[in-house]
Chains A and B, each alone.
Chain A
Amino acid sequence: MSTTQFLFAGFGGQGILFAGKFAAYKGLIGEKQVSWLPSYGPEMRGGTASCSVIVSDEPVGSPIVSRPDVLIAMNLPSLDRYESAVAVGGTIFVDSTLIDRKVERDDVAVYYVPATRLASDNGMPTLANMILMGNILKVMNEFDEESVTAALKKVISAKHADMLDINLKALKIGAEYKEEV
């Protein structure tokens, strides 16, 4: 029995809610119990956006994530705000293009992915979120093309079906990224 609590955080417009929804659908396809809860306060309008996603083998109790197992920080204010909240032994994914400091804690695993740079280098400037997502799935051993594609089909509406391939490509770029040492 396992439960993973994700907290996605960044600026409004970075696709924080979309990445969270993708993660939730990925769980649902894997026959897990899931919940997705966005921030909907005034901070959404130009400040930080965040969303709580829970993927579990058991029914989800509280949908609010206050001690994330996995933090996805896509800007500095998010890392500053949530670094201390991450559960001991948890994991932090950092968009290292936009965040130039290192994570200070030594009791969590940290992955630095220059997602925003990779996105613009590959001509997909709005898909840093999915590049990061690809890396997360790879690290968590959850990246398989079949379920990833199935989840994408759920979150991308029929109207935007032409966006499917480029999202898949973004996920793959993230999955294949190896940190430069």
Chain B
Amino acid sequence: MSEKVLMKGNEALAEAAIIAGCRHYFGYPITPQTEVAAYMAKRMPKIGGTFLQAESEIAAINMVYGVSSTGHRVMTSSSSPGISLKGEGLSYLAGSDLPALVINVQRGGPGLGGIQPSQADYFQATKGGAHGDFHMIVLAPASVQEMADLTVKGFELADKYRMTSMILADGTMGQMMEPVSLEYDIKPAPEKPWATTGTKMQREHNIVNSLSLVPEELEKFNIERYKRYDEVEKNEVMYEEYMMDDAEICIAAFGIAARVSKNAITEARRQGIKAGMIRPITLWPFPKTPFKKAAQSVKQFISVELSMGQMIEDVRLATECRVPVTLCNRVGGMIPSPEMVLEAIKEAAKNGGAR
């Protein structure tokens, strides 16, 4: 095993992208993800790659579209307001079945909002980031190691399913440093016979396009695409179960909220309350099965979020509302404290949740 080094989440992610074979980065600076761009600016020229600071987020995502059309691994990164600007491009990528990696290191919103951590772009990321019927694969890291690991995974999944993978991180994940090991066995990217690489007069033209004026055809494309989405739902769900064996109160949390919740669960267990957690790693596809299974044994779910109650809807859907699901949250750049989560667990226990 290689020696572990301390890296910021943003930098570990950028290095992992390079290791995964990404040689093209387009972006526009915005706190708290600017280190991704800074790292790429430093590294890409040295390895024959492209770093380009675009004139806007919209330009950057369309450059991603261009490179992806040629079959190369490509990424862009931004934070919440910048991701909204990229929305049109995300829809076009989906409509053209192009793989790409998009990073959202979220900050408080809506509007220009603030620059402190947030998870309030959950709906935007998981329910389709723009117009039309489409999904992105949404990966939620909860450590610096996962910032790197899920970046590699994100590229692989994007190529495999011809979709956009989004890393949905937050300000803390981007800014914090933790020990990280960047040892990967990178598989070669799959063949991309659809890529516009030049016909050399030996094949038909490949056309990458999202325009389709014949409704019958456009319907067919949508249905075909959703068959691929079914495969993703079947094969690619990722989650972590923490102390769920005998849990009577189950926390649902991802990213920084899951880290905070672990402290609260440790303390709750010390006080004799059987608390556990299901941490979705893929937010789309959402880990419905473990939640549905847990609903047979736990007495209450608590969705811990840095948003006004977004993931809670998916928890309720997955558990078919069989047991109560409550919300424990802070917003606007604030982060729930372990004490606040512990209080929510104790409240649930008092209401008959535990023992």
Contacts and interface: CB of A to CB of B under 8 A. Distances in A.
Contact of B179 (A28, A38, A42): A28
B243 to A, nearest CB: 12
Contacts of A41: 115-116
B6 A37 contact: no
Task: Specify the main secondary structure of chain A where it touches its partner.
Answer: mixed
Interface residues of B, number: 23
Contacts of A163: none
B323 interface: no
Nearest to B333: A41
A24 interface: yes
Interface stretch (A55-63, A76-84, A110-118, A168-176): A55-63
A35 B143 CA distance: 10
Nearest to A36: B177
Contact of B259 (A21, A24, A25, A61): A61
B335 A36 contact: no
Interface size class of A (residues with CB under 8 A): 20 to 34
Contacts of B263: 61-62
Contacts of A28: 4, 6, 179
Interface in B273-287: none
Interface string B8-32: 0000000000000000000000011
Interface string B116-141: 10000000000000000000000000
B6 A63 contact: no
B171 interface: yes
Contacts of B316: none
Q: Which of A28, A40, A41, A42 has the most CB of B within 10 A?
A: A40
A46 to B, nearest CB: 16
A156 interface: no
A126 to B, nearest CB: 22
